[in-house]
Structure 1
Amino acid sequence: MKLNIKLQNVFLEMVCFLYIILFTYAAISKLIDFENFQTQLGQSPLLSAYAASISFLVIFAELGLVVALSLRVSRIKALYLSVGLMTVFTTYIILILNFSSFIPCSCGGILEKLGWNEHLIFNLFFIFIGSCSLLLHQYDKKGIISLLLIVVSSVLFVVFLFLSSEDTMKKQNPFIRRFTPNVASRTLTKNLNNYGFYFAGHSKGNIYLGNTISPLTIIEFDSTLQHKKQYSIQLTPDTLPFRAVKTKILGAHFFLYDGSIPIIYRGLVSDWKATIWVTKKPYFTTLQPIDSTLCVFRGQQLGTYENILGTIALDDSLKIRKQKHLLQKQIDGIFDTDGTLTYSEGLKKIVYTYFYRNQFIVADTALQLVHHVTTIDTTTRAKLKVVRVKKSGDSKLAAPPYTVNLRSAAFNELLFNQSGLRGRYESKKNWDHASIIDVYDITNKIYLSSIKRNYK
């Protein structure tokens, strides 16, 4: 049954009026809190790569439709576009609810108080009344096809943005982080009352801490942090002139080293007694045990003093292998290749993360390069001012370094990297009270997400 023309026009004007109110309110809310709106879009799991352009486009579209819906000459075309815009918003919500690891919000005002399911129903209502109004105005083949084209085009547009944004964020990230809420939480704490502790390793569910102030002391906690034991490492011999001793624990063994002295002690955590495992060579600056008979180290090339990676293996005989081409020189080969050395036991891969550039390298235990991985920041070249002291011949930094990656740790196929740089759409206030950890898939060479841990 057809409604008469007068009722159709009244219904059309009512629907346009509701759309005008909705878009006016939505646009003004976004403009009032534009920084927050843009930040939330930037952290959206679907549209992160296009946050800057979309934040402006949405507001201009809403305000433009308000004007067009107010003019009788453009009202019908504007209503088609309004239904299309609401379809865009609705498709975005459906993708968020079904294909996102977390659910953000980028609305403003009272709409921000709605849950996602309520928001979906709200949007569907506006699509329904807008479609009904258009079909009552032009219920023929042309009107139906036009409406279907608008709806389908809107859906495909959002799907395209989603797929292309995913590819950009994972492979060509423009330094936009995706913070996953509630993925990490502080469950247990223990006040150590000392700033000299460092994480030495774990074994059989126990956590071990070393101490730079008392280098031969090891503290053991169980997984609940309730039970604490203290051990003293016994060295044979114990007269070597160490400067800065570090201990690394791997399974049933522990390794004690300095690096300024080319000697490595090895012992068992069952009795904490250590004897010399490797002596006389090589000198190194950092060491990472791989198993009970193999360690990877970072040392310096004779003559040039540039950083290199190598392995020490001692079973029946001592085998030292060096690979001077893994670390890529940009400035001096010393400061510019400084970084964190870690090992993924699950992947059986060595991971080295540069401090001053957006890259980490992955190599096998034979020191063969597997691949380079680019981190999400944009610092491709180390920003360092290196000077050489004529009198001593030493190289020194003449200005504070621009640190990209602070420290990292590998677990199976994941690399957890604490970043030193603030990304796009991130407020300085949050950075002053939190540390940011970016998570990468080592095997697939992609960025996954970021974790924000507040200091308190």
Structure 2
Amino acid sequence: MKLNIKLQNVFLEMVCFLYIILFTYAAISKLIDFENFQTQLGQSPLLSAYAASISFLVIFAELGLVVALSLRVSRIKALYLSVGLMTVFTTYIILILNFSSFIPCSCGGILEKLGWNEHLIFNLFFIFIGSCSLLLHQYDKKGIISLLLIVVSSVLFVVFLFLSSEDTMKKQNPFIRRFTPNVASRTLTKNLNNYGFYFAGHSKGNIYLGNTISPLTIIEFDSTLQHKKQYSIQLTPDTLPFRAVKTKILGAHFFLYDGSIPIIYRGLVSDWKATIWVTKKPYFTTLQPIDSTLCVFRGQQLGTYENILGTIALDDSLKIRKQKHLLQKQIDGIFDTDGTLTYSEGLKKIVYTYFYRNQFIVADTALQLVHHVTTIDTTTRAKLKVVRVKKSGDSKLAAPPYTVNLRSAAFNELLFNQSGLRGRYESKKNWDHASIIDVYDITNKIYLFSFYIYHENKMKMSDLLITEKALYAIVGHQIVKYTFGTPMLTQLKK
């Protein structure tokens, strides 16, 4: 009996010693490369929302258990907690392997030389020897119940963190991006041999480009970027004092417009001939066609010059409607409400994304508000320094603006938003070499994931266009195609 007790004590001390070595190594490894450890947690598909607190909590727990396991008076309680901590790690791995949207790299700290499956076996071994030593020490009802409580509560704790983290990441994101693999892959590129191009639209599988330098020229590519055609728009009349001409293509029609005159031409892509559709009013800065007889515009309110949205409808008669209260003023109603106007043909909804705050507006085609959606950045109020020039009465920016959202495009239920800010736990190297696209579910008001559009020859993306199978980007003097992978196609099919 004495020998058995002695062997039990030796086994208990050996197990405690192994746990001490394990936790010491793990904690020191994390401390040496703490920034990388925190970044990996931030990119975790399960615990991203709690990366900051968990990164400190895990290290403190491991070091605390090392001390407690070294003291005879606290050794047994510390061993129970050690088994619980290993159960936490093991549950996390099981969730990663079976319930995660993607499986991240198993690197850093104790995971450095092991894959997820190997590490799962490694953890189970430590749980097994820890449980055996505890049951040998106290093999009775109280000991068994205590061990079961520790294990079950550890599992439930991780499951709770997983479920609450998912909800937080989608609805109350603390600016932590989720870079899901295989969302979009760079597959094709074509040299445009010039600058000034922008996307005019797409129709019947073809991509159309306009050009600010040659505003009457339209370039057509097929979806493979291999077949190219060039068209010249014919205007009647064509002698107006144009200053800022752009073209938008929607289905069989195209709209050529200049809001500074103001004038809107309309024509068919079958012959590229356009006649005046609307002129003399209203003045506008941005135009978005909805169908062949309806356009949404952003203009300015008379007297205050604050930005407003409105609709232009012309069928039998011209109808202009202005919605003065859809854009929400924070500072001056001019710069602070500036943004991108886009349209989801699949949803029949208008989306307006503010440049300088973390929000976009969703409205119907009558400009009735559906809802506001918050982007994952935390800038709720525009950070602008606006001054009024006394001599002219004009408002100007006295300092460079803090741009939150650069540009966006909508397709079906998804909004693709190019962010102007680097998120938490993100690599500066990647940020310096790529643009980040954040994807949102417009209907459910949730953030889904992010992906990179890489610079080409050190040139950044200047425009983007979304189709049902790919994203097209203009980067410098090139058009680049990013083909969607399974995660994106699954969302688009919804």
Q: State whether TM-score is above 0.5.
A: yes
Give SS of 2:82's match. helix
Q: CA deviation at 1:100?
A: 1.7
User: Could you say if the C-alpha distance between residues 251 and 113 of structure 1 is closer, same or farther in structure 2, counting changes exceeding 3 Å?
Assistant: farther
Q: Contact 1:40–1:106 at 8 Å: present in 2 too?
A: no
- Alpha-carbon separation, structure 1, partners of 2:120 and 2:200: 50
Q: CA deviation at 1:106?
A: 6.7
Q: Contact 1:30–1:107 at 8 Å: present in 2 too?
A: no
- Alpha-carbon separation, structure 1, partners of 2:264 and 2:2: 91
Residue 266 (structure 2) aligns with: 266
- Alpha-carbon separation, structure 2, partners of 1:154 and 1:2: 35
Give SS of 1:432's match. helix
TM-score normalized with structure 2 length: 0.88
Q: Contact 2:252–2:269 at 8 Å: present in 1 too?
A: yes
Higher relative contact order, structure no. (Cα contacts within 8 Å, ≥ 6 residues apart): 2
- After superposition, the CA RMSD in angstroms is 2.2
Q: CA deviation at 1:89?
A: 0.6
- Alpha-carbon separation, structure 2, partners of 1:170 and 1:423: 15
- Alpha-carbon separation, structure 1, partners of 2:3 and 2:297: 83
Q: CA deviation at 1:170?
A: 2.2
- Alpha-carbon separation, structure 1, partners of 2:351 and 2:113: 44
Q: CA deviation at 1:195?
A: 2.0
Give SS of 1:270's match. coil
Q: Contact 1:37–1:106 at 8 Å: present in 2 too?
A: no
Q: Contact 1:350–1:362 at 8 Å: present in 2 too?
A: yes
Q: Contact 1:218–1:233 at 8 Å: present in 2 too?
A: yes
- Alpha-carbon separation, structure 2, partners of 1:344 and 1:119: 45
Give SS of 1:384's match. coil
Deviation larger for 312-321 or 217-226: 312-321
Q: Deviations over 1:197-224 (max 9, x none)?
A: 1111111111111111111111111111
Q: Deviations over 1:58-97 (max 9, x none)?
A: 0111111112222222221111111100100111112222
- Alpha-carbon separation, structure 2, partners of 1:221 and 1:270: 15
Q: Contact 1:105–1:112 at 8 Å: present in 2 too?
A: no
Q: Contact 2:106–2:116 at 8 Å: present in 1 too?
A: no
Residue 466 (structure 2) aligns with: none
- Alpha-carbon separation, structure 2, partners of 1:94 and 1:385: 50
Q: Contact 1:41–1:106 at 8 Å: present in 2 too?
A: no
Q: Deviations over 1:393-436 (max 9, x none)?
A: 21111111111110011111111111111222223332111111
Q: Deviations over 1:340-386 (max 9, x none)?
A: 00011111100000001111111000110011111111111111111
Residue 431 (structure 1) aligns with: 431
Q: Contact 1:217–1:232 at 8 Å: present in 2 too?
A: yes
Q: Deviations over 1:131-177 (max 9, x none)?
A: 11211221111110000000011011111212222222222222121
Q: Contact 1:408–1:416 at 8 Å: present in 2 too?
A: yes
- Alpha-carbon separation, structure 2, partners of 1:53 and 1:241: 60
Q: Deviations over 1:16-49 (max 9, x none)?
A: 2221221111111111110010111112122122
- Alpha-carbon separation, structure 2, partners of 1:429 and 1:80: 42
Q: Contact 1:84–1:154 at 8 Å: present in 2 too?
A: yes
Q: Contact 1:37–1:107 at 8 Å: present in 2 too?
A: no
Is 1:216–2:232 an aligned residue pair? no
Q: Contact 1:310–1:367 at 8 Å: present in 2 too?
A: yes
Q: CA deviation at 1:3?
A: 8.8
Deviation larger for 299-308 or 418-427: 418-427
Give SS of 1:186's match. strand
- Alpha-carbon separation, structure 1, partners of 2:124 and 2:443: 41
- Alpha-carbon separation, structure 2, partners of 1:118 and 1:5: 34
Give SS of 2:191's match. coil
Deviation larger for 180-189 or 357-366: 180-189
Give SS of 2:93's match. helix
- Alpha-carbon separation, structure 2, partners of 1:45 and 1:427: 17
- Alpha-carbon separation, structure 2, partners of 1:290 and 1:158: 47
Q: Deviations over 1:255-300 (max 9, x none)?
A: 1011101211111111111111112211110001111111111011
Q: Deviations over 1:297-350 (max 9, x none)?
A: 101111111110011111122111110000011111111110000011111100
- Alpha-carbon separation, structure 1, partners of 2:152 and 2:106: 23
User: Could you say if the C-alpha distance between residues 110 and 165 of structure 1 is closer, same or farther in structure 2, counting changes exceeding 3 Å?
Assistant: closer
Is 1:145–2:145 an aligned residue pair? yes
Q: Deviations over 1:99-157 (max 9, x none)?
A: 22122247524623322222222211211111112112211111100000000110111
- Alpha-carbon separation, structure 1, partners of 2:115 and 2:191: 39
Q: Contact 2:389–2:396 at 8 Å: present in 1 too?
A: yes
Q: Contact 1:344–1:411 at 8 Å: present in 2 too?
A: yes
Q: Contact 2:201–2:250 at 8 Å: present in 1 too?
A: yes
Residue 325 (structure 1) aligns with: 325
User: Could you say if the C-alpha distance between residues 245 and 355 of structure 1 is closer, same or farther in structure 2, counting changes exceeding 3 Å?
Assistant: same
**1:174-189 residue pairs with structure 2 within 5 A?**
174-189=174-189
Q: Contact 1:97–1:103 at 8 Å: present in 2 too?
A: yes
Give SS of 2:157's match. helix
Give SS of 1:163's match. helix
Structure 1 residue runs of 4 or more that deviate by more than 3 Å after TM superposition? none
Give SS of 1:188's match. strand
Deviation larger for 223-232 or 9-18: 9-18
User: Could you say if the C-alpha distance between residues 2 and 266 of structure 1 is closer, same or farther in structure 2, counting changes exceeding 3 Å?
Assistant: farther
User: Could you say if the C-alpha distance between residues 113 and 346 of structure 1 is closer, same or farther in structure 2, counting changes exceeding 3 Å?
Assistant: farther
Counting matched residue pairs gives: 449
